[in-house]
Structure 1
Amino acid sequence: MTVHFQEVVPVDTYSVQSKGVLNEVDQNVLTLLYQPLIGAFAHSLYLTLWCEAKMNHQSKKHQHLMNITQFSLKDILSGRKKLEAIGLLKTLKKDGESSREYIYELQLPLSPKAFFTDGFLSIYLFNRLGQTKFNEIRESFLIPQADSSGFTEVTASFSDVFTSLHPSEMTSKSYSEINENVVSENVSFLEKGVQGKVTFGETDFDFEAMVNQISTFVVPKEVITPKLKESIYKLAYIYQLEPMDMSRQIQNVYYSTGEINVENLRREIQKWYRFEHEEGLPVLALRTQPVHLKALQGMEPKSQEEELIKYFEEVSPFRLLEDYSGTTPSEVDLKLVAYCMLDQNLTPGVTNVLLDYVLSGNDMKLAKGLIERIASHWARKKVQTVPEAMALARDEKRKSKEWQEKKTSKPKFYNGNQKPNVSVPDWLKPETNPAKEDENSSTNEDENRKWLESLLNNSK
């Protein structure tokens, strides 16, 4: 492990440079979004370097930085590396005979939109702050947009306001003066700046091994674009995926959607991770209805229906399946629970109603196709509470009963499974004695008909 004085000592010099300026939004992003990730000192170090970049560009010793921040060189180096890792700082070094010289290039923070849609930094911020605080901070960066429906744009164009130049004013001398190189090589124009971004060492993930695991029959090679490659490195780092796991996720996405981009790959990996790790089958199925979605929270049931609502709200899908079978639910059944709660985003209480509805009406069997059809329907209806789910279940049952009644009321036709009602041909009838015809006719006709039906059935 490298100790700090092997990288920098107080007599090493540094200079700070930047190509942009911090506006008010940038400062809010730094304080509210970056500071929870890098800590107060790294945040303070960044602002200190910005002040030095604005004041002068002369080289200073790191001893000066220690005096300004009142922190040790070890802490300064630690804060500097955090800024580098988060994409706010680039560091250049030149070794001299007796000391080293550093150039610190400050990078602008991401815009609020870029930060929250990055899918990388936002995940770390969510885990650091929790859902409530994360949502609160995110909403503080939202700007309400006025409804422009019914309005017509009346913005003036350049030609509406300014007149064109006379040909005499557009001389070659003017062009030469404008294009004259008045900027020396060691300076540059002040710009808004390029936003910093997080980079990864490609050696951390064996990209070639992942590509070799992907079947070209499933995913064409040209699908893996440079932008997607960069995201693959990030996602592999966040979710600790091995090349084999990542190749499987890429093939799953492309096979199911026919295309692959950063967003649908991220969704697939997030679903896989939740399923395999923090929210695996048993853990996910042990969840109960959220308190804010309980219709009878803190209330005593006053009817049989309310008792049933209370039951669905208080037990987990795992417990409900246990109550039905008296044994531990099978992995197949738990995967159906995971489908309802992960893929269709149904709440535990609504999932309980769905399971009960299918089990009670399907001879205690969880039919996969029926579960998926109803779950997707309820998801589209945005069902979240147990009473809403029970109302839909009653409606499903009523429609099913009406359909069955219509089906049974229709005239029956031969459908291939029913036995045909045919008379026995004369040539199959045995010869009979007229004297015994009346006595045996009924018996023989029944036996012949049975034999013919058996013959017909066996020949199918």
Structure 2
Amino acid sequence: MTVHFQEVVPVDTYSVQCKGVLHEVDHKVLAMLYQPLVGAFAHSLYMTLWCEANMDQQTKKHQHLMNVTQFSLKDILSGRKKLEAIGLLKTFKKVGETSREYIYELQPPLSPNAFFTDGFLSIYLFNRLGKAKFNEVRESFYITQFDVSDYKDVTASFNEVFTSLHPSEMSSKSYAEITENVLPEDAALHEKGVHGKVVLGEETFDFESMVNQISTFIVPKEVLTPKLKEAIYKLAYIYQLQPTDMSKQIQNVYYSAGEISVENLRREIQKWYRFEHEERLPVLALKTQPVPLKALQGMEPKSKEEELIKYFEEVSPYQLLEDYSGTTPSEVDLKLVAYCMLDQNLTPGVTNVLLDYVLSENDMKLAKGLIERIASHWARKKAQTVPEAMELARDEKRKYKDWQEKKTKSGSYRANKKPNVTVPDWLKQETGSNIKTEESSSTEDENRKWLESLLNSSK
């Protein structure tokens, strides 16, 4: 896992440039549509960089950015990554002998129409805001269109207002002076309507595998244009489609329509998804830990704890709940998972640790209040990896144990029967000086058996 100071340090310099200009409606789009997805700090970082770009073009150190925002470099890097991922920022880096130089190129946001018809960001906004708030926000961007069918178009034409130029004024020399490139090499004119776009890495979907499963007798390969390829990556990511499923949808569309476009492919996949998932939007519970945040990526576990880390990193929260119960997770439990991942922005791996901890400590019940309290605490701690979450879970257990002991000593604690739930090995506080009794040895054996059965059931 790459730590922030390996990527940027306070003395590294940066310059900011803009790809276009911000209009009044863009500010509303950033605040109402992008901010719920990237968070308040990333939105603030974007506006800070935009102000700096319009003030001057001087090169600054990242220490300056830390002073202005009053945030740590780790938080600034996290906010920067969110802006890059959502299509609002491009970052360029040059490594020198003693430091690194960055250029931050700000991208204007999508227009309201492009955002809500994108079929990608709008789904994530829907999941973040909920149906009622999503519709309210979308309606705030509506523009009333007047019915002009009973009116006559009386708009003046150019030639009705302006006189034509004399032939002497249209010399070839004048035309050449107008059309030649008079801009310096390091400058460009502002463009209106240029915006950034979300780009998904090719590792998110095996495109070649999908192509190999498409019959060339049904769909000619030239149909898969670069624009359609980009849409396929996005649709596969949103709807969690495997190459086999995507190839079937493409062949169905082309066979029925004789052509294929981004829009008719999206409609076909939406129809298929509704049939498969009973009108539900894609659930985040099916996502797994991102590769950059996997502590054991490409490594073999060397201990029982590492085996559990690997398990939490490889399965989705949905699969973890399914492993625990042996049945399909309930809608109530999936809503708690969505709260952790959407409202508190926890990663799938961290969510897995939280679910495992609460189930182990709470008689196999996912208590809403307990989930929300721990999730908000871990979010404030900025836990992103499984080991970080496991350490926080150990702290939670220690604090609960201390609280129980204090209540017992004060005499105000009424003993209740403790649920017969085995606590995972990784939750136990490691102590080197404890004397192992026959009873503790027996408990340890039971814990090992529990962990082995859990790992075996997840394979």
2: CA distance, partners of 1:178 / 1:18: 25
Deviations 1:194-249 (A, max 9, x none): 21100111232111111111112222323322221110010111112111111111
What pairs with 1:59-458 in structure 2 (closer than 5 Å)? 59-192=59-192, 194-277=194-277
1: CA distance, partners of 2:181 / 2:138: 45
Amino acid at match of 2:152: T
The residue aligned with 1:392 is none
Q: Secondary structure at the match of 1:122?
A: helix
Deviations 1:254-311 (A, max 9, x none): 233333222222122223333334659xxxxxxxxxxxxxxxxxxxxxxxxxxxxxxx
Deviations 1:385-409 (A, max 9, x none): xxxxxxxxxxxxxxxxxxxxxxxxx
Structure 1 residue 193 displacement after superposition: 5.4
1: CA distance, partners of 2:181 / 2:245: 54
CA contact (8 A) 1:37 1:124 kept: yes
Deviations 1:341-388 (A, max 9, x none): xxxxxxxxxxxxxxxxxxxxxxxxxxxxxxxxxxxxxxxxxxxxxxxx
2: CA distance, partners of 1:168 / 1:277: 71
2: CA distance, partners of 1:128 / 1:153: 44
Structure 1 residue 192 displacement after superposition: 2.2
CA contact (8 A) 2:85 2:198 kept: yes
Change (3 A) 1:278 1:187: same
Amino acid at match of 2:224: I
Change (3 A) 1:218 1:193: closer
Deviations 1:118-141 (A, max 9, x none): 000000001111111111111111
1: CA distance, partners of 2:170 / 2:139: 51
The residue aligned with 2:30 is 30
Amino acid at match of 1:15: S
Amino acid at match of 1:213: Q
Amino acid at match of 1:161: V
Change (3 A) 1:193 1:266: closer
The residue aligned with 2:58 is 58
Structure 1 residue 251 displacement after superposition: 1.6
Higher RCO (C-alpha 8 Å, min separation 6): 2
Comparing 202-211 with 41-50, which one deviates more in the overlay?
A: 202-211
CA contact (8 A) 2:108 2:196 kept: yes
Q: Secondary structure at the match of 1:93?
A: strand
2: CA distance, partners of 1:269 / 1:166: 59
CA contact (8 A) 1:19 1:193 kept: no
Deviant stretches of 4+, over 6 Å: none
The residue aligned with 1:412 is none
Deviations 1:400-455 (A, max 9, x none): xxxxxxxxxxxxxxxxxxxxxxxxxxxxxxxxxxxxxxxxxxxxxxxxxxxxxxxx
The residue aligned with 2:397 is none
Deviations 1:113-160 (A, max 9, x none): 000000000000011111111111111111111101122212111111
Q: CA RMSD in A?
A: 1.6
Structure 1 residue 179 displacement after superposition: 3.9
Change (3 A) 1:176 1:217: closer
Structure 1 residue 250 displacement after superposition: 1.3
The residue aligned with 1:7 is 7
2: CA distance, partners of 1:156 / 1:248: 53
Structure 1 or 2, whichever has the larger Rg, is 1
Change (3 A) 1:3 1:146: same
2: CA distance, partners of 1:279 / 1:148: 38
2: CA distance, partners of 1:279 / 1:150: 42
The residue aligned with 2:18 is 18
Amino acid at match of 2:117: T
2: CA distance, partners of 1:48 / 1:30: 13
TM-score, reference length from structure 1: 0.59
Change (3 A) 1:233 1:181: closer
CA contact (8 A) 1:19 1:189 kept: no
CA contact (8 A) 1:107 1:193 kept: no
2: CA distance, partners of 1:150 / 1:66: 59
Structure 1 residue 181 displacement after superposition: 4.2
Q: Secondary structure at the match of 2:15?
A: strand
Q: What runs of 5+ residues in structure 2 fail to find an aligned partner?
A: 281-459
CA contact (8 A) 2:19 2:108 kept: no
1: CA distance, partners of 2:191 / 2:245: 43
1: CA distance, partners of 2:224 / 2:175: 45
Structure 1 residue 46 displacement after superposition: 0.2
Structure 1 residue 178 displacement after superposition: 2.5
Q: Secondary structure at the match of 1:197?
A: coil
Q: Secondary structure at the match of 2:135?
A: helix
Q: Secondary structure at the match of 1:8?
A: coil
TM-score, reference length from structure 2: 0.59
2: CA distance, partners of 1:80 / 1:193: 23
2: CA distance, partners of 1:240 / 1:180: 50
Amino acid at match of 2:105: E
Q: Secondary structure at the match of 1:133?
A: helix
1: CA distance, partners of 2:152 / 2:31: 39
2: CA distance, partners of 1:15 / 1:21: 17
Change (3 A) 1:58 1:204: same
Q: Secondary structure at the match of 1:94?
A: strand
Deviations 1:73-107 (A, max 9, x none): 00000000000000000000000111000000000
